[in-house]
A and B are shown apart, each in its own frame.
Chain A
């Protein structure tokens, strides 16, 4: 299979910070807001470089979203950031009315998404944020997989005219994607295969590549697709692969309800039904632990993906 090299462990939130800085250098209209989480969101470099374009909002996320939408009205390109739970669930109504219904050019920067937030536990580990953002008309939902892709997705989000939900994480993970411009709405085929399609998003993409190596040793050839843009979904790429392999695994650091798995299953059911297995949370909250402990406990990792692949192939 195609070989991907881990250039060294880096957090995707730092990829966001670098992308924000680069977007800010390229476009003076880019501004950043955060609710007392500048360091966690890796906005320090942007704030130091552009102090007049950085707005500390204090612990008041609802106001932050409204302020961002008002800034966008004047032509600015605001990135409003906090932890994934607090920048979705806490402010769902504000995003719905001021950003989506109001069609303002606001980028929601969502860090520490999913179980891999780790020790802080379930209050902070949202497994529902993609569902909340996906259901909003006109919202673009992006969940990049590593430092490099997050950096490039941030730059692409700044150039996109309209609301974007950009989801990334806390832990240091493999950095392996080529440094190339990010295309919103494109699913990236990372490895071509014939026996099973593994569709993954966010941190699960590297896990899917590891699973594909394990499966290869067993004589199973897995096609691995990085669905960095969850909405709009690249249905053509997903369908073509599913029809080719005849079996699909979807892996995401998110609950089943409203996640990528349901979305892919819906696309397949409406066009070309195939057996699907899911690697995700099943109507659950998280708990305290290290990221790797948690992913293993909930079966959302490379082992879980390999198991799901073996299972779904049997159902062909």
Chain B
């Protein structure tokens, strides 16, 4: 287990990668990538039992992760590359013609670490539930993790999956929601009246954990609690309270950076605010 200080350094580098990938590609989704960067770094570098060298799409004998909010590829690819799934230098190809780093995750280009396509929202939770049931069927005791957005939770299929997973006691599943409170057209409450997510998940029969998604100690603690709940008959939802665009002052807390690209000047300013680095791609 890495120290929280190490995890913070990696998360800072992931944010630098996000800014630089989106700037280079002149497209992509930085806002949610930055809000989810801290807890996703903790997941891959401190929680999951996974080995990039022996990765297969079947995920046998390893913990697996499904990205449901498929637009969060800048964060996802940075973490996969930094974890050793493919060369860090490949991050420079994000969204470019011929790349393995498609705008939204694809299994068609042979990118290691990616289990399933995502992009059309609301579907990945069902996939993760199926994968968790599959792991039980093939007697693999590992855990399936999945990340949804709070805006994504407006999709009806999320709640179909919620009901199904509780009914079938899928207790080798840890779902996470990045509760940054923002979506393309505004705040989640203004756009769709998302309301009390924790009450909703509890009503659907899930264990819920709330955590500050930018406090590395609290994040690690939340994953620890989720781990203790494994095998006890209920699926687990960790609701990470976060800030869209976290880490760069002019990007933080607004839906305007959901899918916007920083200018060259803004990119420089942003990188100056993310000083911890492991070496850029």
Q: Which residue from chain A places its CB closest to the CB of B117 in the assembled complex? A: A102
Q: Hey, which chain A residues are within 8 Å of B107, CB to CB?
A: 102-103
Q: Which residue from chain B places its CB closest to the CB of A33 in the assembled complex? A: B130
Interface residues contributed by chain A, number (CB under 8 Å): 32
Contact present for B126 and A65 (CB under 8 Å) = yes
Residue A51 at the chain B interface, CB threshold 8 Å: no
Q: Given the interface contacts A65-B126, A97-B119, does A71 sit within 8 Å of B133 by beta carbon?
A: yes
CA A197 to CA B131, docked complex, whole Å: 47
Contact present for B168 and A98 (CB under 8 Å) = no
- Residues facing A in B119-178 (CB within 8 A) are 119-120, 122-135, 137-138, 140, 156-157, 160-161, 163-164, 167-168
Q: Hey, which chain A residues are within 8 Å of B131, CB to CB?
A: 70-71, 73-74
Q: Given the interface contacts A58-B164, A63-B126, A97-B120, does A70 sit within 8 Å of B134 by beta carbon?
A: yes
Query: What is the 8 Å Cβ interface bit string for chain A, positions 40-73, against chain B (1 contact, 0 not)?
Result: 0000000000001101011010111111111111
CA A97 to CA B167, docked complex, whole Å: 25
Contact present for B160 and A74 (CB under 8 Å) = no
Contact present for B137 and A71 (CB under 8 Å) = yes
Q: Hey, which chain A residues are within 8 Å of B156, CB to CB?
A: 62
Q: Which residue from chain B places its CB closest to the CB of A106 in the assembled complex? A: B130
Contact present for A103 and B137 (CB under 8 Å) = no
Q: Hey, which chain A residues are within 8 Å of B118, CB to CB?
A: 97
Residue B225 at the chain A interface, CB threshold 8 Å: no
Q: Hey, which chain B residues are within 8 Å of A63, CB to CB?
A: 126, 129, 157, 160-161, 164
Residue A120 at the chain B interface, CB threshold 8 Å: no
Contact present for A58 and B116 (CB under 8 Å) = no
- Residues facing B in A185-240 (CB within 8 A) are none
Contact present for A70 and B117 (CB under 8 Å) = no
CA A101 to CA B108, docked complex, whole Å: 8
Residue from the list B59, B119, B160, B161 in contact with A73, Cβ < 8 A: B59
Given contacts A67-B164, A70-B132, A74-B59, 18 further A-B contacts (CB under 8 A): A60-B160, A60-B164, A62-B126, A63-B129, A63-B157, A63-B160, A65-B126, A67-B129, A69-B130, A73-B57, A73-B115, A74-B60, A74-B135, A76-B137, A78-B130, A97-B120, A98-B116, A101-B106
Sorted from nearest, which 3 A-B pairs have the closest CB atoms? Answer: A70-B130, A66-B126, A74-B134
